Amino acid sequence: MKEYDFVVLGSGVAGLTFARKAAAHGSVAIITKRNGADANTFYAQGGVACVTSVEDSFDLHVQDTLTAGDGLCDPAVVRAIVTDGPARIRELVELGVPFDEREIEHGMKELDLGREGGHSKRRVLHSRDTTGREIEESLLRAVRTHPNIEMLENHMAVDIITAGKLGYVTEDRCLGVYVLDEASGAVLTIRAGRLILATGGCGKVYLYSTNPAIATGDGVAMAWRAGARIANMEFIQFHPTCLYHPDARSFLISEAVRGEGALLMDARGRRFMQKYHPLLELAPRDVVARAIDAEIKRTGEKCVFLDITAKPAGFVRERFPNIYETCLRYGIDITKQPIPVVPAAHYQCGGVLTDLSAASSLRGLYAIGEVACTGLHGANRLASNSLLEAMVMAHRAYEAIIPKGPARGEKVELPEWKSGDVQDVDELVVVYHNWDEIRRLMWDYVGIVRTDKRLQRASARLRNLRAEVQEFYWNFKVTTDLLELRNLVTVAALIVDSALSRKESRGLHYTLDHLAKEDKYARDTVLSAG
């Protein structure tokens, strides 16, 4: 059995930020199921929303966030995270993250701030269109060289060990975690007085997603099985502009492209956002995604087009080098041709319910980043608030946990993992079929536009799939594929159950059977298995 003062599940900006700070006070393990850089953070293009300009204010950022969240944000949480932002940005700059600057008079420079949908001011700090990669690589350099941090790559958490599951009658709490070592196939028992979930979101629960393959909702599923409270899982954000190409189904076209003047067009070259919102292409993401979905269904075309050809070619190549080069590889010169785009699942606005210290309802279990539901995003996330939240909440978790000291004193005996009489999975085709079926039914029945009948069909099928997956889980040796399938079907069911309970349209939850927004639903959807 291994033992650490702090165990962090996930290696994105939230997990790495917490680990780097906590390592000054004890031993830290970072457990990540692929390599360290394989996290949603790495693929974030747009940037970090933060008030850094004299033309901006905390009040404006707060109001923009509340407006985008459509009545479900917690105003106190929004203000706390927004006002904590500048200090976290300074830390990134000190770490060496190269945020873009622009030259002003007398050779002086200032931050080159971008604007995205829903923002009333330019406030998005960026490093061209690979902001997440720059942040991720800077943090990884810092944690890989720290003597108190051990990074366990290609290790996947199986389940959280709790006092309740072991039969103790005292207050239930997190005691540790079982972790699969993918190389050996062995399941390790790791004692952790403080377990930090930083596992990201669940985009791969949908057939089309901007997320990497690792985004299978592992943290939410494990927290749910451990008895923690889960909130607002019906609010899955679909990014309006994912590249439409048969060989690039997950490549995001950043909202910053629209922020720099790109226009949305139909197949005939006509703009259409004027029919849907006064902010046109810079409307909140939920509005733009629904508008594109409606245009595709109305015209029968397979996509719409994002056109930035009116901008100078040099500017486009300099500001969006990754998008330019990627599209060029697929035969699209974005300086001369419009980009074919469709919406795709992008961000999980709900998750493990936490307070402003990142504490969940299960003692000893914390959640930071996309896996958590803090009250910042409400029914729809404001663009580029995700990296901001991840950094701020990682710091808040650190500030809350460190004064309490290490939690290794409770020497409860933790049982080793027992595989029992199980076999190697000999029919992987069944696992892959179930994976594909879950993602297709979620896309067809629980997508941008929903109905009661579609949700009920999804719920019925998911009940059967959960039973099938549970049978696999108990009869075969655990593998990463099997664990991800188990988590995927759990999270899918949580999304559907949450959506069925909200009989209104609000933010990202849009249903044809309940088009009106109702005051009685201006509350979180909270689920608990306990």
Residue with tokens 């849009």: 510
b or e along 101-139 (b: 16 or more beta carbons within 10 Å of the residue's beta carbon)? Answer: eeeeeeeeeebbbbbbbbbebbbbbbbbbbbbbbbbbbb
Contact between 199 and 502 under an 8 Å Cβ cutoff? The reply is: no
Active site residues: 285
**459/498 Cα distance (integer angstroms):** 11
Question: Could you please report the per-residue DSSP string of 305-371?
Answer: EEE-TTS-HHHHHHH-HHHHHHHHHTT--TTTSPEEEEEEEEEE--EEE--TT-B-SSBTEEE-GGG
Sequence-distant (≥ 6) Cβ neighbours of residue 279 within 8 angstroms: 117, 118
Bridge partners of 124, per DSSP, are 49, 114
For the chain, how many residues are written?
A: 530
Task: For residue 147, count other CB atoms closer than 10 A to its CB.
Answer: 7
How far out from the chain centre does Cα 204 lie?
Answer: 11
Among candidate residues 217, 237, 224, the one with its CA nearest the CA of residue 527: 224
Q: Tell me, what amino acid is at 423?
A: Q
Residue with tokens 């197949």: 267
Contact between 402 and 18 under an 8 Å Cβ cutoff? The reply is: no
Backbone angles phi, psi at 409, to 5 degrees: -75, -25
Task: For residue 269, count other CB atoms closer than 10 A to its CB.
Answer: 10
**491/361 Cα distance (integer angstroms):** 18
- The terminus-to-terminus CA distance of the chain in angstroms comes to 28
Greatest alpha-carbon pair distance for the chain in Å reads 75
Cα dihedral: 140, 144, 146, 150 (round 10): 120
Among candidate residues 298, 340, 346, 352, the one with its CA nearest the CA of residue 447: 346
Bridge partners of 14, per DSSP, are none
**6/196 Cα distance (integer angstroms):** 8
Assign 12 to helix, strand or coil: coil
**373/441 Cα distance (integer angstroms):** 25
Contact between 154 and 140 under an 8 Å Cβ cutoff? The reply is: no
Joined together, the tokens standing for residue 461 give: 């099928």
3-state SS of the chain: helix, strand, coil percent to 5?
A: 40, 20, 40
